[in-house]
Structure 1
C-alpha cells in the first residue's frame, strides 16, 4: 500500500497517510500526503507545489484514472490482507490508519477491531477519512 502511494506521488512526499477500513462486505482505502509542508488530498498535489513558484517544475498526474487505479490497487491489497487474516485465523482490523514517514522510512499504524460505521445510519468510511485528514492537517500547523 505504501508503494502504490509513493508511486502516485512520484516519491516526492514527506509523509503518506493511508486509511483502510473493512466492515462486513465493504472495503475502503484512501490516502493523503504531506508535500512541501502541506497536508493535501491526492487530487491536490499540484496545489502543494504552486506556492513554490516557477522554479519548481514538478507536475503530478492527478487524473481521475490515476486516482482510481491507486485506490483499486489499495483495495486489492486490503482484500489480500483480509484473506491472510482468514487463512491464519486472525481477526481482521476494521480500521487501519497508517503513517509512513518517507525520510525515516518509518511506518506506524493504529488499528481498531470494533465496528465504526456499520452501526451508524449516517456515518460512512469517507466521513472517518475526512475527519482524520482534518485532524492531521490541524496538528501540522
Structure 2
C-alpha cells in the first residue's frame, strides 16, 4: 500500500520539479495539468510569478525591471511536456500494477514560497465524451479559472 502511494507521489513531485527547473525556481506557484483518458495522455503547466498568472510561453510578461529573462524556447517547453507525459504513462503503469484506478485528470499546485502541495484528481471522463473539447480546452479553462479566482 505504502509503496504505491510513495511511487505515485514521487512521479507528481518529478512533474513539479521539472516545472521549477524550467523557471529556474524563480516562481511563486506552479500549476500542472495532466490527463489520461481513453489512451490519450496530455499535459500542461503554468505559473504565478510576481502576482501574475502566466502560461509557459509568456513567462517574460511577468518580469519586473532588472529581472533576468526566462528561456521559453519551444524546445524547452516540449522537454517539460515530454517529462510530464512520461510520468503520466508511469502513473498509469503503476495503477495497473497495483490494481488501482488511474485518475483521468490531475491538477497539481505547488506553492514555492510555503512548500505547500495540493493535488486534485478526477476519475470520470472529462473530455473524450465531449464532441468539441480536448485536453487543451480543459487545461485552458483551468488556467482561466485560477486566473479569475486568484487561487
Query: Counterpart in 2 of 1:75?
Result: 85
Deviation of 1:63 after TM superposition, in Å, equals 0.4
Q: 1:99 aligns with which of 105, 109, 122?
A: 109
| Aligned pairs for 1:22-101 within 5 A | 22-49=36-63, 52-53=64-65, 56-101=66-111
> Is 1:6 matched with 2:20?
yes
- Kindly provide the CA deviation profile for residues 76-115 of structure 1, in whole angstroms up to 9, marking residues without a partner as x: 0111111101110000000011110111111101110001
Query: Counterpart in 2 of 1:115?
Result: 125
> Is 1:124 matched with 2:134?
yes
Q: 1:18 aligns with which of 32, 43, 49?
A: 32
Please list every run of 5 or more consecutive structure 2 residues that lacks an aligned counterpart in the other structure.
1-14
User: Hey, which of these two has a bigger chunk of helix by percent?
Assistant: 2
Q: Distance in 2 between matches of 1:82 and 1:127?
A: 22
What is the Cα-based RMSD across aligned positions, in Å?
Answer: 1.1
Q: Distance in 2 between matches of 1:119 and 1:128?
A: 13
- Kindly provide the CA deviation profile for residues 28-72 of structure 1, in whole angstroms up to 9, marking residues without a partner as x: 1110000011000000111110xx22xx23111100100011100
Q: Distance in 1 between matches of 2:21 and 2:136?
A: 23
